[in-house]
C-alpha cells in the first residue's frame, strides 16, 4: 500500500470571487473565513446570521500534489475521502470523478485514469446545503420535525442535523473537507474487512479474527498474519495461507484481563495487528486495533413490572449512569483530541459509566471511541437520524446503506461500544407529535429502522445489540412512551412544567433522556455579550436561548422554588441550582429503585456554542452546578433521603461489586445547625442493590412553623470515613428561613495543589459555590451544603488552573457564596 497524504496546505475560494485564501485541511469553510478575518465570530452577540449567509454560497478547495511513476504502476489508485461535508463535486486534473451527498460516509474514488506523472491538481467544490434543502422542501414539504427549531428540509440531506439549528444550537451549516484525505495505491491485495468476535468461557476467551482480503489475482500465494499483544506485553503470532473469501484466525486467551466500565474494574486493552503478506514475506497492507475482552448484552425480557431494559457487562448487571453527548462545536475544525479528552475525563470524574451519542449530530472521530475504551465509558450509539421522517428514494437508501456499513465497520471493534440505536425520537414523533400519518412514509420508517438496518447489523456486527429507536418499547409504533418497557425520554419536568417531585411517580426501566435548563456562568455569558446585553430577556440573551419560551420556564421554576435573585449574576447561579436539583430528584429516585429502573442518561452533557441549555458542562468546558451534583448522585455508593411532609426515609444504593457495611448517622437541625434530634444505625447493603435503611417521622418535633427553619442531615460512614451525605429541607428553599452562615475559609499550598478549608460559623450554608475570578479551575467539590461547625476541605489541582496563581492571588481572587447571599 502506497499513500500520498493530501492533508495540509490548500487554497479556498468563494465561487465567483477573485481572492484565494491559504487554508488547512482537514478544516471547514467557516473556520477558514474566521482565521482570515473575513467573517466575525458567529457565536458573538447576534452574529449567528453570518452562518446562513455563508452557507448560501458555494466554495471550492484546490491544491497541487505530486505522484511518481511507481505509484501509477499500481493496479488500483484510489482517492480516499474520510469526510466531505456534504454536497461535493470532486475534480482531478479538471475531470469530475465523484459527486457526494453524505458527510457521514467514507468515499473511495478510483482515480488511476485521471492522474499523471508529476504535478496533479485536485479541486473540490462544495455546493450550498441550504439552497439544496430549500429546493427539496418546496418540492415535497412533508418533512415533519419538532417545533421548527431547525431549517425546514434538513431530513433531505445526509448532513449533521444540528447544523441547521436545534433547540440548543445555532443555524451554522458549515461545509468543507472535515476529515482526512489521501491517495492510496496498491496491487496484488489489500485488507478489505477485519471483524473480531469473542466467545467467553470460564477463565478463557476465544477471539476469532475474521479477515477478508481483496485480491486482484488468485494466482499469487498470500498469507494473513495476526499478532495479539496482551496488556502485559505477551505476544502471540499466527499465520494462515489465504484460500477462502474469509479466513478466521482463532486465539484462545487463558485467564483474560477483562475490560470493565468505569466504577466496576479496569480497562485493559489487547492490541491486534492484522497484515497481508506476499510469498516473499513483504507486508502488502496492515491494520492495528485495540480491543477489550468483555461481553456487553442488553436484556429486554418480561418481568413483574413489564419488560426490562438492562445492560450486562461480563454477566454483571450495570446501572447506566451518564448523559447525552452532542457535537462539541458547530465549526468542526475547532474540535481536537485534547478537547474531547478533557470532556470525557470530566465525565469519568463525575462517575459516568455511559454516554449516548445523540442521533442528530455526526459519528464521532476514532479518537472519541479510543478515549471511551481507555476510560471505561459504554457508548450508546445512535445512527444519525433524529426528529424527522425520511423518504426512502433509491438514492437516499443507497447512501444510507453505505453510511451504516462504513460506520459499523469502523466502530464495531471498540470495547466501549454497547448498543446500536436506529434513531432519536422518530418512532415517538410518529405516535405522539401530531405528524401527518402518511402511510408511505410510515412504511419507509419500518423498512429502514426495523428491517434494513437491523439486517445489516446481523451481518456486520451480530454481537452488538440493536434497538430500533430511542425511546421505544420495542418497535412497531407500539406505545414508545410506555414507562414499563424499553427506554424512555421523559420531559414533563421542564416542557410540561411539572414539579421536580413528578419524577418520583415513575419507575422507568431506563431513562435515556430527561433534562432541565440553566444559564451558563457569568464568565461564559461575558464571552458573547456586552454589559447592556446582560438581562435574560435582552435580544442577545434570547438569541443564545434556542428553546422557545425557555427563559420564562426557568423563571417559572425559580418562582416555584427560590426567592427572586438580587442581580443578574445571582440569577445565573440560581438557575444552575434549579437544574442540579431537578436532575438529582430523578436520578436519586431511580437509583433508589435499582432493579426496576436500570439507567439514567440526562440531557445533555455538553454544548456546541455558548448558550442557555440543558448541559452540565458548557462550551468552554466549565462545569455547571449540575456536573458537580452528578459527581455525587452518580457515585457508586449513594446515600439519599426521600422526604415527604414531616417524614423521611434514608436509602443507600450500592453499585459496587462488593457488599458494604457501615453506619448511617442522621441529625435533625435548626437553621442555626442546633441539633434537635439524632440517631444512627449500622447497615449492610448487598452489592448491586439499593436499600431503604431508615424510616423517620418528625410529627412530634415539627410544627408547620418549625418546618421552615429545620433540616435533616445524614451521612454514611464506612471504615471511619464519610462516603456519602445528604441534606434535605422540609419546605421549598424560598420558604426556608436561612440565616447568615458566616462562611470563612483558609487555603494551604502543597506541591501540586491548593487545599481550601471552609467553615460555616452562623448556621446552615446551602449550595456553597466557589469561584475563582479571572481564571478557571476545577474544584474537587462545589455547590455543597455545610452545617455550622463542620469543616469542608476542597482541593484545586494546580494543573487544572487556566493561569498560574500564587497563594496570595488565590486568596484574593476566590469568591464564596451560598443561597443566603443571592437574595
What CA–CA distances, in Å, run from 591 to 81, 399, 630, 635, 654? 45, 42, 13, 11, 9
* pLDDT over 80 at 146, yes or no: no
Residues in Cβ contact with 521 at an 8 Å cutoff, skipping those fewer than 6 apart: 572, 576, 618, 622, 624, 771
> DSSP strand E in 68-217: where?
76-81, 84-85, 88-92, 95-99, 107-110, 118-126, 164-166, 169-171, 176-177, 181-186, 189-201, 204-215
* Exposed / middle / buried, residue 458 (Cβ in 10 Å: 0-12, 13-18, 19+): exposed
Query: Do 388 and 427 contact (CB within 8 A), yes or no?
Result: no
Residue 145 is predicted with a pLDDT of 53
| Most distant CA pair in the chain, distance | 94
User: What element of type H or E holds 135?
Assistant: helix 129-139
Q: What is the structure's pLDDT at 8?
A: 98
pTM beyond 0.85: yes
Mean per-residue pLDDT for 639-644? 97
Write down the pLDDT at residue 143.
55
What integer pLDDT is reported at residue 244 of this predicted model?
A: 86
- Where along the chain do its domains lie? 2-184, 188-291, 314-633, 636-737, 739-823
Q: Evaluate if residue 147 carries a pLDDT over 80.
A: no
Given the C-alpha cell 425520511, which residue does it identify?
390
How do strand 59-67 and strand 8-14 relate by DSSP bridges? antiparallel
Cα 471 from Cα 487, distance rounded (Å)? 5
Q: Which of 172, 177, 181, 163 is nearest to 109 (CA)?
A: 181
Over residues 87-116, the pLDDT tens digits come to 999 999 999 999 999 999 999 999 999 999
Give dist(CA 419, CA 730) in Å, integer. 41
Per cent of the chain over pLDDT 70 is 99
Can you give the pLDDT at residue 144? 53
Domain 314-633 -> CATH class: alpha beta
Q: What percent of the chain has pLDDT over 90?
A: 96
Q: How far apart are CA 397 and CA 720, in angstroms?
A: 62
Is-same-fold flag (2-184; 188-291)?
A: no
User: How far apart are alpha carbons 213 and 222 in whole angstroms?
Assistant: 10
Q: List, as one string, the DSSP characters of 724-781.
A: EEEEEESS-GGGS------EEEEEEE-SSEEEEEEEESSS-EEEEEEEETTS---BSS
CA angle 344, 613, 815 (to 5 degrees): 75
- Residue 684: predicted pLDDT: 97
Q: Kindly state the helix (H) or strand (E) to which residue 683 belongs, with its residue range.
A: strand 675-685
Q: What is the mean pLDDT of residues 148-157?
A: 90
Output DSSP code: residue 63: E
The pair phi, psi for residue 483, each rounded to 5°, is: -70, -10
Report the top-level CATH class of 636-737: mainly beta
CB within 8 A of 784, min separation 6: which ones? 628, 767, 768, 792
Q: What are phi and psi for residue 565, nearest 5 degrees?
A: -65, 155
Ramachandran region of residue 545, left (φ > 0), alpha (ψ -120 to 50) or beta? Answer: beta
Paired residues of 571 in beta bridges = none
Question: Other CB atoms closer than 10 Å to residue 291's CB: what's the count?
Answer: 19
Matching residue, cell 441529625: 667
For residue 424, give the nearest of 388, 399, 475 by alpha carbon.
388
Closest CA to 449 of 511, 383, 393: 383
pLDDT reported for residue 279? 87
CATH 3.40.50.2300 fits domain 188-291: no
Cα 292 to its chain centre, rounded Å, is 21
Between residues 144 and 393, the one the model is more confident about: 393
pLDDT mean over 160-187: 97
Task: Report the candidate in 190, 184, 185 with the shortest Cα–Cα distance to residue 278.
Answer: 190
Distance CA 632, CA 618 (A): 19
Cα–Cα distance for residue pair 20/651, rounded to 1 Å: 65
> What pLDDT is stored for residue 771 in this prediction?
97
Q: What pLDDT was estimated at residue 142?
A: 62
Mean pLDDT of the 479-488 span = 97
Of 364, 372, 355, the residue nearest 336 (C-alpha): 364
The per-residue pLDDT of the chain, averaged, comes to 96
Q: How confident is the model at residue 148 (pLDDT cuts 50, 70, 90)?
A: low
526 and 582 Cβ atoms separated by less than 8 Å: no
The secondary structure of 535-558, three-state, reads: CCCCHHHHHCECCCCHHHHHHHHH
Q: CA separation (Å) from 82 to 78, 398, 791?
A: 12, 18, 54
pLDDT at 181 over 60: yes
Given a cut of 90, whether residue 245 has pLDDT beyond it is: no
DSSP 8-state class, residue 44: S
pLDDT at position 217: 79
Instruction: Specify the CATH architecture of the domain 739-823.
Output: Sandwich (2.60)
In CATH, the architecture of 2-184 is Sandwich (2.60)
Span 617-645, average pLDDT: 98
Q: pLDDT tens for residues 425-459?
A: 999 999 999 998 989 999 999 999 999 999 999 99
pLDDT in tens, 769-778: 999 999 999 9
First-to-last alpha carbon distance for the chain, in angstroms, is: 68
Task: Answer yes or no: are the C-beta atoms of 610 and 521 closer than 8 Å.
Answer: no
pLDDT tens for 188-228 read 899 999 999 999 999 999 999 999 999 987 778 899 999 99
What is the tens place of the pLDDT at every residue in 662-710? 999 999 999 999 999 999 999 999 999 999 999 999 999 999 999 999 9
Amino acid at each position: 500500500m502506497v499513500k500520498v497524504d493530501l492533508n495540509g496546505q490548500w487554497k479556498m475560494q468563494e465561487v465567483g470571487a477573485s481572492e484565494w485564501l491559504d487554508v488547512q485541511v482537514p478544516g471547514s469553510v467557516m473556520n477558514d473565513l474566521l482565521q482570515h478575518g473575513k467573517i466575525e465570530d458567529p457565536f458573538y452577540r447576534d452574529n449567528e446570521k453570518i452562518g446562513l449567509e455563508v452557507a448560501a454560497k458555494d466554495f471550492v478547495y484546490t491544491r497541487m500534489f505530486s505522484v511518481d511513476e511507481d505509484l501509477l504502476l499500481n493496479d488500483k489508485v484510489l482517492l480516499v475521502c474520510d469526510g466531505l461535508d456534504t454536497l461535493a463535486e470532486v475534480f482531478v486534473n479538471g475531470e469530475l470523478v465523484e459527486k457526494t451527498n453524505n458527510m457521514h460516509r467514507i468515499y473511495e474514488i478510483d482515480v488511476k485514469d485521471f492522474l499523471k506523472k508529476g504535478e496533479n491538481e485536485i479541486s473540490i467544490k462544495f455546493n450550498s446545503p441550504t439552497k439544496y434543502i430549500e429546493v427539496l422542501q418546496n418540492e415535497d414539504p412533508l418533512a415533519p420535525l419538532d417545533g421548527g427549531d431547525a431549517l425546514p428540509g434538513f431530513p433531505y440531506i445526509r448532513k449533521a442535523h444540528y447544523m441547521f439549528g436545534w433547540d440548543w444550537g445555532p443555524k451554522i451549516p458549515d461545509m468543507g473537507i472535515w476529515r482526512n484525505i489521501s491517495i492510496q495505491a496498491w496491487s496484488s491485495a489489500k485488507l478489505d474487512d477485519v471483524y473480531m468476535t469473542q466467545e467467553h468461557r470460564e477463565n478463557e476467551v476465544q477471539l476469532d479474527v475474521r479477515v477478508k482480503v481483496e485480491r486482484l489475482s488468485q494466482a499469487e500465494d498470500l498469507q494473513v498474519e495476526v499478532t495479539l499483544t496482551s496488556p502485559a506485553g505477551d505476544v502471540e503470532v499466527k499465520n494462515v495461507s489465504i484460500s477462502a473469501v474469509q479466513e478466521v484466525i482463532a486465539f484462545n486467551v487463558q485467564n483474560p484481563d477483562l475490560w470493565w466500565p468505569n466504577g466496576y474494574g479496569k480497562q485493559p486493552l489487547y492490541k491486534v495487528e492484522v497484515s497481508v503478506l506476499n510469498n516473499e514475506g513483504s507486508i502488502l497492507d496492515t491494520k492495528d486495533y485495540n480491543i477489550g475482552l468483555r461481553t456487553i448484552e442488553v436484556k429486554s425480557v418480561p418481568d413483574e413490572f413489564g419488560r426490562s431494559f438492562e445492560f450486562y457487562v461480563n454477566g454483571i448487571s450495570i446501572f447506566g449512569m451518564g448523559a447525552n453527548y452532542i457535537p462539541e462545536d458547530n465549526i468542526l475544525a475547532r474540535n481536537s483530541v485534547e478537547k474531547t479528552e478533557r470532556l470525557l475525563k470530566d465525565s469519568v470524574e463525575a462517575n459516568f459509566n455511559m454516554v449516548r451519542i445523540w442521533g442528530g449530530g455526526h459519528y464521532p472521530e476514532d479518537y472519541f471511541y479510543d478515549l471511551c475504551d481507555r476510560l471505561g465509558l459504554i457508548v450508546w450509539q445512535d445512527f444519525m437520524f433524529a426528529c424527522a421522517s425520511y423518504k426512502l428514494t433509491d438514492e437516499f437508501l443507497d447512501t444510507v446503506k453505505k453510511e451504516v456499513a462504513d460506520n459499523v465497520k469502523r466502530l464495531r471493534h471498540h470495547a466501549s461500544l454497547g448498543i446500536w440505536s436506529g434513531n432519536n425520537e422518530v418512532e415517538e414523533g410518529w405516535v405522539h407529535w401530531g405528524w401527518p400519518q402518511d402511510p408511505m412514509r410510515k412504511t419507509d420508517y419500518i423498512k429502514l429502522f426495523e428491517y434494513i438496518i437491523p439486517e445489516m447489523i446481523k451481518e456486520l456486527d451480530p454481537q452488538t445489540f440493536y434497538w430500533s429507536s430511542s425511546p421505544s418499547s420495542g418497535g412497531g409504533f407500539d406505545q414508545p412512551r410506555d414507562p414499563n418497557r424499553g427506554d424512555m425520554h421523559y420531559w414533563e419536568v421542564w416542557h410540561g412544567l411539572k414539579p421536580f417531585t413528578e419524577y418520583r411517580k415513575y419507575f422507568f426501566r431506563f431513562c435515556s433522556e430527561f433534562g432541565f435548563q440553566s444559564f451558563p456562568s457569568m464568565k461564559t455569558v461575558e464571552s458573547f455579550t456586552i454589559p447592556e446585553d446582560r438581562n435574560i430577556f435582552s435580544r442577545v440573551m434570547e438569541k443564545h436561548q434556542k428553546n422557545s419560551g425557555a427563559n420564562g420556564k426557568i423563571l417559572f421554576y425559580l418562582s416555584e422554588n427560590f426567592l427572586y435573585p438580587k442581580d443578574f449574576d445571582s440569577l445565573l447561579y440560581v438557575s444552575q441550582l434549579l437544574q442540579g436539583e431537578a436532575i438529582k430528584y430523578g436520578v436519586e429516585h431511580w437509583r433508589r429503585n435499582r432493579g426496576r429502573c436500570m439507567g439514567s442518561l440526562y440531557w445533555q452533557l455538553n454544548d456546541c456554542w455558548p448558550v442557555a441549555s440543558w448541559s452540565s458542562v458548557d462550551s468552554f468546558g466549565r462545569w455547571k452546578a449540575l456536573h458537580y451534583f452528578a459527581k455525587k448522585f452518580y457515585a457508586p455508593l449513594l446515600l439519599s433521603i426521600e422526604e415527604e411532609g414531616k417524614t423521611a426515609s434514608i436509602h443507600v444504593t450500592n453499585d459496587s461489586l462488593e457488599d458494604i457495611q457501615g453506619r448511617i448517622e442522621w441529625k435533625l437541625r435548626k437553621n442555626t445547625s442546633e441539633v434537635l434530634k439524632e440517631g444512627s444505625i449500622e447497615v449492610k447493603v448487598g452489592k448491586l442493590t439499593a436499600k431503604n435503611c431508615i424510616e423517620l417521622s418528625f410529627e412530634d418535633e415539627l410544627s408547620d412553623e418549625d418546618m421552615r427553619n429545620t433540616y435533616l442531615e445524614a451521612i454514611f460512614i464506612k471504615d471511619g470515613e464519610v462516603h456519602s451525605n445528604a441534606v434535605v429541607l422540609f419546605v421549598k428553599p424560598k420558604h426556608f428561613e436561612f440565616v447568615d452562615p458566616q462562611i470563612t475559609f483558609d487555603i494551604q499550598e502543597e506541591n501540586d495543589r491548593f487545599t481550601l478549608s471552609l467553615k460555616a460559623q452562623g448556621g446552615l450554608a446551602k449550595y456553597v459555590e466557589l469561584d475563582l475570578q479571572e481564571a478557571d479551575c476545577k474544584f474537587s467539590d462545589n455547590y455543597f451544603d455545610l452545617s455550622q461547625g463542620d469543616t469542608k476541605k476542597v482541593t484545586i489541582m494546580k494543573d487544572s488552573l487556566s493561569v498560574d496563581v500564587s497563594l496570595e492571588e488565590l486568596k484574593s481572587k476566590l469568591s464564596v457564596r451560598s443561597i443566603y447571599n443571592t437574595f
